[in-house]
Amino acid sequence: MLAPEIPADDAQRVAALHGLGVLDTEPEERFDRITRVARRVLGVDIAIVSLVDENRQWFKSTDGLDTSETAREISFCGHAILDDDVFVVPDAGADPRFSDNPLVTSDPNIRFYAGCPLTVGTGHRVGTLCIIGREPRELSADDEALLRDLAAMAQKELEDFDLATTDELTGLTNRRGLLMFGRQILAAAERRRRPVGIMYLDLDGLKVVNDTEGHAAGDALIRAFADTLLNCLRSCDVIARMWGDEFCVLASETDRAGLLKLEARIRDTLADPGRPGPRLSASIGLADSSPTNPETMESLLAQADAAMYEAKRARRTPAG
């Protein structure tokens, strides 16, 4: 096993990392959604936002792995931070630098690794966004471009903890975060010729609750609806509160048929008489981008929003 080299400026690099104030903090949705999306759209077993401290690598976010840190001397990310390029190991089992590494010979049984360095304002590489697979694999040019794009988003979150991409009331992604993720996911989908679906939802009855019971009761209704969406949708779906009573779901690798299944799941969950909490209902609109008819994030949102309002009007119009 080859332990990663220690760069000459490592003391300054570690100081820059500590200056971020991020080490040993609680998980945050704005990082977790990056690893969820990376794992899903790049088709890997594990995705991690990893920060390389003096003697350890600590994971701000993981998807597919329960461990929170490992020793730096056995880390792949310790190698990845030595250069600006994406560091790729197609087959760790056949690579003399890693073949006897305990991360390869035992859990999590790494075979494929790719890590993109995360550089903060001081110019120091403090960690990586990395993806891991348990089978050998090559990293295509398109996949490398997507990994770089997602790493740039993680880097921005590290550099500015005040960057507002999370809705304070629900903990969901906000509109700004959704647009950031959506553009990356759509670009990746177009390169990979995969579908993407959007679902726009309007929570029914919020104004009445606010007017009759007060805004605290309205906030509780919003949180209950957000929790319901989180519980019945997939972990890879990006769920956003746009504003007020309007929500959006961005479903990668999901065509119109898949969207209809997700919509049915939401409606069944809301209608379940055994579901705890307040009674909830919503108007829902759908839109999708296909390989033969790619859409922008803005056009998808406009189409789904229009479909949602049409569904709302249809519910209000008596039949006959």
Residue 237 has pLDDT above 70, yes or no: yes
Q: 202, 204, 245, 305: which is the annotated catalytic residue?
A: 245
Q: Which residues contact 192 (CB under 8 A, 6 or more apart)?
A: 41, 142
Asked about 288 being catalytic, the answer comes back as no
Token couple for 251: 């479903």
1-11 b/e (C-beta count within 10 Å ≥ 16 → b): eeebeeeeeee
The predicted model scores a pTM of 0.63
Q: What is the mean pLDDT of residues 256-265?
A: 96
pLDDT above 60: residue 212: yes
One-letter amino acid identity for 212? T
**Has residue 181 got a pLDDT over 90?**
no
Which residues, including other chains, have CB under 8 Å from residue 213's CB and lie 6 or more apart? Answer: none
Q: Percentage of the chain with pLDDT > 70?
A: 97
Phi, then psi, of 77 in degrees rounded to 5:
-65, -30
pLDDT digits (tens, 9 = 90+) for 113-166: 999 999 987 788 999 999 999 999 999 999 999 999 999 999 988 877 545 577
pLDDT-based confidence at residue 67 (cuts at 50, 70, 90): very high
Helical residues (DSSP H) of the chain, grouped into ranges: 10-19, 29-42, 77-80, 102-105, 141-159, 175-192, 206-213, 215-232, 256-271, 297-316
How far is it, in rounded angstroms, from Cα 240 to Cα 246? 9
